[in-house]
């Protein structure tokens, strides 16, 4: 079935009709997926859309090879082949991305309500900061305090990496803020290796079994530990990465007034690419909003600098 769809020659009117039908079918399938929100249906639609895209791209390649390459002269030949090579590179990248996301893995963590209190992991929550406004850090620290997890099982640490001689007044304000809301501030003498070095220094000072790392302008959902800690009852798990959903619009959303109406880039990454990576056992740490098993991180020498 695929080969005739790729190779059959069409008149311009027929090609226009085929393109219209393809676009209409794609929109209808996406609406169908949104309406039913069924994982099995979503996977089938996902695979069908990959197939449809490959067929469409292949038809374009046949058209380019048979009807547009210009070899009338040396310069025309060079320019034509260079452009075609660039297109082939883009198509290869597209096909690799389809291979990467051929199956989107959805893992289910252990329900923590079934775990005895004494068997719950202890968690250190790290909020690394350098010279950000103290009020920004305060919001993140307050959200961390509101996380739904037994209070005796987690501690919050603000990791100040600002040089004391350069940001002395800010460090004092940060310490006052930490004392006010009841979290611990950790400092170090230098800011060698920046954020990674800041985290690695803290790993040697805090007692928790797991570490939740938050950027200082992130606001974690209350359920973040309920959703993520359960994965670590599998002793092979070293990292659980959560998605980043921004509470303020990015420049494109702000300028185009599209916030909440048009998917943004991080949705493609966290809803498609990372689950696809996970299927191949290749999901990776994104620098924040992740839980790591401290024992394993220390075994490999800490966070990569």
Give the tens place of pLDDT for each residue, 132-146.
999 999 999 999 999
> Model confidence at 249, in pLDDT bands (50, 70, 90)?
confident
The answer as to whether 85 is a domain residue is: yes
User: What residues make up the domain containing 141?
Assistant: 112-299
Q: Say if residue 56 is in the same domain as residue 177.
A: no
The residue among 37 and 179 whose pLDDT is bigger is 179
- The residue behind tokens 């794609």 is 26
Would you say 253 and 82 are in contact if contact means Cβ atoms under 8 Å apart? no
Q: Which helix (H) or strand (E) holds 200?
A: helix 194-203
Q: Tens digits of per-residue pLDDT, 27-84?
A: 999 899 888 888 899 999 999 999 999 999 999 999 999 989 999 999 999 999 999 9
pLDDT at 165 over 70: no
How confident is the model at residue 264, as a pLDDT?
Answer: 75
Of 25, 85, 32, 28, nearest in space to 55 by CA: 25
Q: Provide the strand spans (E) within the chain.
A: 123-129, 154-160, 184-187, 210-213, 239-241, 290-293
pTM: 0.85
Q: Say if residue 96 is in the same domain as residue 136.
A: no
Q: Say if residue 266 is in the same domain as residue 133.
A: yes
Lowest mean pLDDT among 30-34, 98-102, 105-109, 189-193: 189-193
How confident is the model at residue 245, as a pLDDT?
Answer: 84
pLDDT at 196 over 80: yes
* Residue 143 backbone dihedrals phi, psi, to 5 degrees: -65, -40
How confident is the model at residue 23, as a pLDDT?
Answer: 93
How confident is the model at residue 254, as a pLDDT?
Answer: 77
Q: Say if residue 266 is in the same domain as residue 295.
A: yes
Q: Say if residue 276 is in the same domain as residue 235.
A: yes
Q: How many domains does the chain have?
A: 2
């Amino acid at each position: 079935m695929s080969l005739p769809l790729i190779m059959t020659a069409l008149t311009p009117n027929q090609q226009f009709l085929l393109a219209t039908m393809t676009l209409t079918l794609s929109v209808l399938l996406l609406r169908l997926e949104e309406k039913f929100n069924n994982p099995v249906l979503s996977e089938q639609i996902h695979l069908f859309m990959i197939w449809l895209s490959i067929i469409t791209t292949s038809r374009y390649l046949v058209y380019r090879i048979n009807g547009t390459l210009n070899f009338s002269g040396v310069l025309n030949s060079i320019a034509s082949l260079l452009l075609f090579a660039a297109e082939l590179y883009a198509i290869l990248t597209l096909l690799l991305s389809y291979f990467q996301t051929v199956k989107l893995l959805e893992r289910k963590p252990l329900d923590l309500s079934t775990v005895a209190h004494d068997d719950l992991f202890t968690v250190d929550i790290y909020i690394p900061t350098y010279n950000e406004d103290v009020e920004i850090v305060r919001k993140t620290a307050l959200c961390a305090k509101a996380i739904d997890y037994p209070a005796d099982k987690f501690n919050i640490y603000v990791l100040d990496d600002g040089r004391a001689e350069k940001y002395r007044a800010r460090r004092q304000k940060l310490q006052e803020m930490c004392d006010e809301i009841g979290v611990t501030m950790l400092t170090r003498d230098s800011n060698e290796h920046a954020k990674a070095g800041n985290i690695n220094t803290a790993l040697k000072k805090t007692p928790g079994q797991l570490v939740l790392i938050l950027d200082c302008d992130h606001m974690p959902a209350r359920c973040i530990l309920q959703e993520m800690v359960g994965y670590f009852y599998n002793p092979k798990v070293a990292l659980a990465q959560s998605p980043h959903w921004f509470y303020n619009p990015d420049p494109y959303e702000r300028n185009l007034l599209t916030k909440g109406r048009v998917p943004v880039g991080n949705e493609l990454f966290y809803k498609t690419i990372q689950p696809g990576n996970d299927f191949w056992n290749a999901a990776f740490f994104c620098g924040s909003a992740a839980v790591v098993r401290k024992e394993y991180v220390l075994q490999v020498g800490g966070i990569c600098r």
